[in-house]
Amino acid sequence: MHVTRKAALAGGLVVAGTIAGSLIHAVSAQADPESAPPSLVEDYTYPGAAAIEASRHITLVSGDGNITLVECGSQSDLIEVESYNNVSDAVYCFAVRGDHGQLSLEIPKVFFIWAGDESVTATITVAGEEQPPVVVPANDGEAVGAADPKNHAVLLELTV
């Protein structure tokens, strides 16, 4: 009977080892590096930027989500950017949500910026050179760029 007990113990160890090996293989077979979940780190890129660039001819790079492109006339307190960039879209409007916001973008041929209910600071370049920040008081407007139509401003950033 003593031999039978040893044989049973050895057989049990073989079965346990086989099951453990099968489980390890099954778990490792399920781990597919191609289907790893996306990163949860926010990169602040503007959602739908490629479609907006194709249809509206402006580049929305990144922001904190508090300044967003909206249809003009949808609200009364919008930031309005006037541009010769696109004949069908001479004005681009942005809504501000919250007390502060930041949006990096690129709108060429800008000549005027209107502020909504809060003052806005615009970062621009003229003829490829960055200019001092343009501060537009609340409910007011400011001409930007040069008088020469070939050297209109390129709007690079809006901050509130």
Residues 81 and 103 in one domain: yes
Domain holding 28, by residue range, is 2-35
> What pairs with residue 125 in β-bridges?
130, 154
Residues 17 and 53 in one domain: no
Average pLDDT, the chain: 80
Residues 89 and 154 in one domain: yes
Q: Give me the CATH number covering residue 53.
A: 2.60.20.30
Find the angle CA(95)-CA(122)-CA(154) to the nearest 5 degrees.
105
Secondary structure (DSSP) of 71-124: -TTS-SS-EEEEEEEETTEEEEEEEE-SS--EEEEEEEEEEEEE--SS-EEEEE
Q: How many residues does the chain have?
A: 160
pLDDT at 85: 80
The whole-angstrom separation of Cα 140 and Cα 119 is 8
Q: Is the model more confident about 25 or about 60?
A: 60
User: Is 8 among the domain residues?
Assistant: yes
For the segment 16-39, what is each residue's pLDDT rounded down to a tens digit? Answer: 555 545 545 544 545 555 666 665
- Domain count of the fold of the chain: 2
Residues 155 and 81 in one domain: yes
For the segment 122-142, what is each residue's pLDDT rounded down to a tens digit? Answer: 999 998 899 999 999 999 999
pTM of the full structure:
0.70
